[in-house]
Structure 1
């Protein structure tokens, strides 16, 4: 009887130590028979993360009951819990589903009719353009390319066009920076399933919740350094405050 009891106790201790020891877990991420590259594989328990290589392969430290998150743009977030069998086989096969494409709203407006200006300068510029176009297509332009000189060339028009060309090249192009709103960024990083199932929010509460998060100065830091793990931690912490306000 004592021998059986000791054997059972030894087996229990081995199983417990096995489940508490981190091991290198290997796996492959794919979708519709295509291997997915650069997928974020995150161990939510240890806060460690890696990315898949060109063959969709990854290696990450994990132990039994650890929660793994798989995230890549345009795909649904995959959540899996590590089992003893997966640790023993060490051959994780992860299949991700692509997000359904949504058609963006297209706004069509009536274009205002254009009226020709009666200004003499405008008319003169149009005449100059017409003369230049006619000159480019006639034999005189081709002769000038061959080194010949032709009478009646419109040098004034040519000079204007060359001056305009050089002035446009000297003007630096100004590009205004595009700033992404926190609400848009949060929706792109975390799918709707995260808000409904993980945060337990109602569909009509999501926008209000994100506006509440945007009022926090910490949201600006996430806009500068957006990371899926940081975003989830921030939203989870703000959700606790949000739920208290609802009571």
Structure 2
């Protein structure tokens, strides 16, 4: 009798485990007219894997119960969905995305006293240059922002006085760092990040706030210009470089 109960318990556990993991197969449509949406990026934030929808709006992605799926599409509001048993067991579920409504605000252009002659006018247009400094022993350089006599001093100060913020990020969050490495290896995610500038995917996967992300990059001596204009893939690579350099300094 005891053997039968043990076998029955194992059988039930296997059924439950099977039901809790598999492939989510669903269909993405426009909430406005129910038309299928092609090339929607679908990311499993827990497993750091991604895929895109086909021309019929269909996709399939490995997931387990309680994983979070993140949907991103240009011109539409990004959404997150928690995976349930019903979602795993019912392929073809319709998921709606809503178009974003953009309001154009008044733009005030700061006037320059231009003459119409390029040779003269280009002297009045401000140009911001960012400089990177190579440090012996480290694989990459540091960006110090606009050139100034004290720029290299700020770089060396940042390197030889590691900030608590970097320790908190790189020393106490191994899960986020594993995700960081996975993001660099996943082609679908890298392709998505090249087209994005809003840091939305990075913040969701790394579980960071926007202010924290900017502060980390500033402590790694990336200029404000780079932080505000780089695409999300460049930011991902910058974070990775910063982490690798932090490991080198920590070993020393």
Query: If the TM-score is normalised by the length of the shorter chain, which range does it land in?
Result: 0.3 to 0.5
TM-score with structure 2 length normalisation? 0.46
- The structure with the largest helix share of the pair is 1
**Larger RCO, structures 1/2 (Cα 8 Å, 6+ apart):** 2
Larger Rg: 1
Q: Structure 1-normalised TM-score?
A: 0.46
